[in-house]
């Protein structure tokens, strides 16, 4: 109950904040509806006036009819557009809030939590319902006021007609059950619905489209989409069938009541115990009683759905609050000792497999660390841990002796620069696609040109002003060209303490990758006085030989470490893999 009231306050507060006029218009509507409902009374009086030849009664009832019906129509017509504007504004406000909450979750683990994903998915689907929250409340007020008006009129005709309401009461239980079935079905169908939409999205995805065509899996994707959609729809359809059956029972009860009520009044009129106008009124009310009983239930049930969505927003707010790391310490502006991994173990949320186990490592301030290892060895995971995107499952990462988990995440990330394996492809101008690497310098052409030169991106994208992305009638780039921009982006930020290159060079040949890593090693010199650490990640052993320190990840741990010379001299795994890779890259005669 408390949760429902909190949801009501959230919906009203948001609507009032974004559209006060719309809220006031929504309030007027229930009152205008009462005027419209009085039409039955005026019609009844008009009938009696005509039969009794009473001009005053005729004039009064016609005047009441014209004023009431006109006012009610006018308000209805003139507010319908305003209602839509209010709904759109509120929906947009919630959309922005959900996006903000998701974007501010501190780590990636929360994004991967299936509970969060399902709730967010439901919120996306129900965005319109949230928008109509205040309108739904106005509908509840309108239906309740309407119900009271109809009840009063019924009593005026004959108090026994109130029994109609009793006969229509099962509708309340029916609506409650319908709502419960629908809510349960929505929760169960969220995950298969997400899968179905994902699979359907593949049809529009250009990158996926290439492989779908080459491997001829379009039919299989279609089959799986249809299956996921069937699994998604099944509980919803079952809930709707149950709802329809329950509605049938409800309407039958009501129909019996209406026949009885009309019969009773007709009998009284025929016996001269009631004016003839009462027949008109009871026939009119017969239709209104049904609405008067069912509508509050339906509108309350619709409001229930909206309140559930609002409760999900509350849940997400609280989840985001709870997930906020207690970052009490601001990140340092320089490193003096460096970064230490103290017996760090990590497994992904929901996974039983250790990706890193008991890893201890010191990355000296101002050094260049190369992380090598086979595919799946945990290199990217190590980078994500250093970036604070995940917290270690066990152990600590110390930044100049301070636990990274206690550093303010935003402040730590403002000290990072990175080029990731799965780099972003921002559809901006080429210059801005680089400039966002340091937002305050977004339009600093000098800095952008410098970063592009250092990343060797000027050859790949000669015109920094070119618009990227065919969606905006711009140009599309090759993977290698996008990579160059990602590398330039990683060189934009100044005052960084940690710079990563997580295999953004995968599509380059080994020598180009090596040349690029050398550039970044050289770029590391510029940050050495503040102790900046550079981390180069590769699964190619031959490209990172100039790094100060090399670690080989294997079997969830650091298998070997040292300089290139030390590792070669040790004639172990690194030496074997280095020599075999180097041989395979040599041209054959």
Ligand X SMILES: Nc1ncnc2c1ncn2[C@@H]1O[C@H](COP(=O)(O)OP(=O)(O)OP(=O)(O)O)[C@@H](O)[C@H]1O
The residues of the shown chain that bind ligand X, judged by CB under 6 A, are 112, 348, 351, 355, 373, 375-381, 421, 539
Minimum separation from the CB atom of position 515 to ligand X (A):
20
Q: Is the dihedral of CA 390, 394, 400, 403 positive or negative?
A: positive
> Rounded CA gap, 257 and 259, in Å?
6
Nearer to ligand X, 137 or 371 (CB): 371
Nearer to ligand X, 377 or 460 (CB): 377
Closest CA to 556 of 373, 422, 322: 373
Nearer to ligand X, 295 or 420 (CB): 420
Nearer to ligand X, 113 or 121 (CB): 113
Minimum separation from the CB atom of position 382 to ligand X (A):
7
> Rounded CA gap, 192 and 577, in Å?
44
Nearer to ligand X, 292 or 355 (CB): 355
Nearer to ligand X, 295 or 390 (CB): 390
Q: Is the dihedral of CA 45, 51, 56, 62 positive or negative?
A: positive
Residue 478 C-alpha from the chain's centroid: 30
How big, in percent rounded to 5, are the helix, strand and coil portions of the chain?
65, 10, 25
Minimum separation from the CB atom of position 384 to ligand X (A):
7
> Rounded CA gap, 487 and 475, in Å?
19
Minimum separation from the CB atom of position 355 to ligand X (A):
4
Minimum separation from the CB atom of position 581 to ligand X (A):
14
Minimum separation from the CB atom of position 341 to ligand X (A):
15
**N-to-C CA span, the chain:** 80
Minimum separation from the CB atom of position 574 to ligand X (A):
15
Minimum separation from the CB atom of position 348 to ligand X (A):
3
Nearer to ligand X, 286 or 377 (CB): 377
3-class secondary structure, 395: strand
Residues ≥6 apart with Cβ < 8 Å to 564: 544, 545, 546, 547, 550, 578
Which tokens belong to 286?
Answer: 């017969």
- Cβ atoms of 154 and 284 closer than 8 Å: no
Nearer to ligand X, 353 or 588 (CB): 353
- CA distance to 171, 218, 346, 379, 549, per residue, from 353 (Å): 53, 33, 9, 15, 28
């Amino acid at each position: 109950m408390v949760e429902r009231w909190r949801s009501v306050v959230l919906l009203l507060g948001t609507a009032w904040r974004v559209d006060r006029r719309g809220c006031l218009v929504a309030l007027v509507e229930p009152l205008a509806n009462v005027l419209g409902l009085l039409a039955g009374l005026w019609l009844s009086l008009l009938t009696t006036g005509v039969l009794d030849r009473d001009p005053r009664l005729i004039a009064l009832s016609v005047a009441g009819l014209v004023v009431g019906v006109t006012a009610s129509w006018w308000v209805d017509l003139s507010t319908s557009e305003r209602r839509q504007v209010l709904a759109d504004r509120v929906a947009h406000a919630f959309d922005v809030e959900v996006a903000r909450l998701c974007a501010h979750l501190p780590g990636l683990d929360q994004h991967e939590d299936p509970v969060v994903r399902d709730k967010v998915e439901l919120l996306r689907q129900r965005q319109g319902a949230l928008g109509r929250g205040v309108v739904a409340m106005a509908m509840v007020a309108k239906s309740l006021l309407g119900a009271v008006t109809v009840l009063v009129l019924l009593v005026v005709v004959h108090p026994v007609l109130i029994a109609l309401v009793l006969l229509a009461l099962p509708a309340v239980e029916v609506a409650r059950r319908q709502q419960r079935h629908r809510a349960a079905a929505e929760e169960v169908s969220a995950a298969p619905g997400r899968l179905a939409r994902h699979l359907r999205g593949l049809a529009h995805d250009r990158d996926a489209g290439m492989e779908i065509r080459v491997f001829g899996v379009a039919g299989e994707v279609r089959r799986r989409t249809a299956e996921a959609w069937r699994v998604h729809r099944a509980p919803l359809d079952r809930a709707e069938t149950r709802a329809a059956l329950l509605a049938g029972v409800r309407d039958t009860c009501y129909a019996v009541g209406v026949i009885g009520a009309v019969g009773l009044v007709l009998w009284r009129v025929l016996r001269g115990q009631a004016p003839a106008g009462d027949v008109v009124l009871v026939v009119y009310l017969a239709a209104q009683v049904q609405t008067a009983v069912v509508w509050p239930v339906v509108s309350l049930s619709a409001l229930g759905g909206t309140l559930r969505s609002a409760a999900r927003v509350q849940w997400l707010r609280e989840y985001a609050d709870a997930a906020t790391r207690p970052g009490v310490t601001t990140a340092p502006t320089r490193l003096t000792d460096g970064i230490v991994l103290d017996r760090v173990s990590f497994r992904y949320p929901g996974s039983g497999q250790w990706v890193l186990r008991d890893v201890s490592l010191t990355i000296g301030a101002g050094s260049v660390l190369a992380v090598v290892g086979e595919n799946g060895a945990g290199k990217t995971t190590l980078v994500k841990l250093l970036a604070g995107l995940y917290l270690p499952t066990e152990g600590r990462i110390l930044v100049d002796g301070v636990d990274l988990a206690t550093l303010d995440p935003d402040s730590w990330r403002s000290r990072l620069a990175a080029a990731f394996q799965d780099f972003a492809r921002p559809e901006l101008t080429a210059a801005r696609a680089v400039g966002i690497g340091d937002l305050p310098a977004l339009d600093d052409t000098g800095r952008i040109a410098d970063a592009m030169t250092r990343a060797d991106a000027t050859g790949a994208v000669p015109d920094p002003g070119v618009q990227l992305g065919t969606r905006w009638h711009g140009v599309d780039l090759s993977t290698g060209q996008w990579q160059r921009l990602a590398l330039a982006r990683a060189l934009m930020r100044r005052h960084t303490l940690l710079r990563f290159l997580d295999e953004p060079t995968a599509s380059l040949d080994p020598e180009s990758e090596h040349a690029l890593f050398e550039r970044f090693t050289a770029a590391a010199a510029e940050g050495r006085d503040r102790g900046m650490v550079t981390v180069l990640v590769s699964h190619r052993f031959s490209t990172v030989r100039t790094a100060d320190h090399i670690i080989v990840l294997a079997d969830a741990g650091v298998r070997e470490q040292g300089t290139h010379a030390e590792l070669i001299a040790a004639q172990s795994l690194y030496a074997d893999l280095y020599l075999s890779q180097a041989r395979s890259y040599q041209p054959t005669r």
